[in-house]
Amino acid sequence: MCLLWVCWLVSAESLSVLLTQRRDTDEHWSVFIQVTFVPSIPRIAKDLDLTDAAISLAFSILIFANTIGALIWAPYSSFYGRRTIYLWGMPFLCVGSCGVALSASLQSLLFWRFVQMFGCSGALSLGIGVIGDLYKLEERGTAIGAFFSITLIRYAVAPFVGGAATQYWSWRKLHYSIGAWGLLEMLFIYLSLPETSHPGTLGIDKLPSRRSIHIVWINPLSTLWLLHSPNLFAVMLASALMINTMYVLVVPMAYTIGIQYGITNEAIIGAFFLPNGLGSFTGTLIAGHLSDIVIRRWREKRRGAWCPEDRLRATWIGGLIIVPLSIGVSGLITTYIGGPIGLALNILCLYANGVGVDSVMNPINSYNVDVVHSRSAEATAACIASWSLILSAASALIVPSIERIGVAWTNIIAAVFAVIRHM
């Protein structure tokens, strides 16, 4: 079903559709694996006889794995090609999923969650890099918006799936099914996905001679050197703080909205991710199209001269108004307003936060492609890796912060950081 959606939303030449289908599917897994875990944290903690805070470390491990994977997969895709890297990554996903399902201790759970996420962590940077290759400057924002909108449908649905599976089936069987589907998807990739890099552009194509199995060492940290640019570093930090506001809302959902409104059913808690996911779906579509319009209008004003920073003008409303208000107000509502009214207002805040965060993220991702077009996948990976490291540490502090200073102050602090960085 998701492939048909992508064909409809991101129509171009037949090869473009094939590419968009594949990268979108892989990125679905990255998002799906992260957010299906959140509603199951209390149940996993009970099954493994651990504290909720200890189990929440597994979510931080996912972000850390995303960091390492992004730095490795992107530069190697520039050397070996996109198709090869997709095929190398999927076995990690399959094996890691089975390992999670078999975990009987915190150490085992953390290790296999890392392996699981590592396998699909390159999808976002590779996908955005492919968009940069296929679409013109004035079309990239819209194309990236279509890409993320389909991805975010899975983000909206995945928590409910994770919660329902935990409540009525088993969190272990859920991860077995992820591994099985990953294996099937790897078969689809092998049979139907062509190599998409332009002939002669891969590192392996430039070697004067090569062996049938040619293994090279590429320093994954070299990608981070792209962030020596002050502009790229600034947008990376801004995106990290935007996404952090979303994590502050959704990661501790069982301990904030769940406790305040007496909701213990994991499936119902998972359903409360839907408003945030639908908001993200709305925000990325609007922002992608808007950023392209901004680029075109400012080029006309400058009589054809192009300034890549023009695209970032599309982030102002979301970054300075919608995001900080949505998270700050949600914290106050959760603390002081109970009953159906408080619950309904929180749902509105979750939706607004999704709109705001992705109305910032979409133009930033397009901007990274604009300014480092020849290394767009690596530029995206550098940003993902950097803000993932920041979020890996920040997400581990969310539940302890709520326990120590409360929901309202935790949310307000996150909102203040987002505003300061965006200014």
Q: What is the pLDDT of residues 39-50, one digit of tens each?
A: 676 777 777 877
- 319-363 pLDDT, tens digit each: 889 999 999 999 999 999 988 899 999 999 999 999 999 889 888
Which residues are CB-neighbours of 340 under 8 A, at least 6 positions away?
none
Domain ranges for the chain, please list them: 18-195+224-422
CA distances from 293 to 171, 189, 192, 310, 357 (A): 45, 35, 35, 10, 19
Over residues 251-280, the mean pLDDT reads: 81
CB 171 within 8 A of CB 40: yes
Residue 53 has pLDDT above 80, yes or no: no
Q: What is the pLDDT of residues 57-106, one digit of tens each?
A: 776 777 778 788 888 888 888 788 777 887 888 899 899 989 988 988 88
Interatomic CA distance for residues 34 and 116, integer angstroms: 10
Q: What's the CATH number of domain 18-195+224-422, 1.10.260.40, 1.20.1250.20, 1.10.1240.10, 1.10.3720.10? A: 1.20.1250.20
pLDDT tens digits, one per residue of 352-388: 999 999 889 888 888 888 888 767 778 888 888 887 7
**CA distances to 18, 295, 299, 313, 367 from 288, in Å:** 21, 11, 17, 12, 11
Least confident of 126-140, 259-273, 290-304, 323-337: 126-140
Among 415, 274, 293, which Cα is nearest to 356's? 415
Q: Sign (positive/negative) of CA torsion 16, 22, 25, 27? A: negative
- Whole-model pTM above 0.75? no
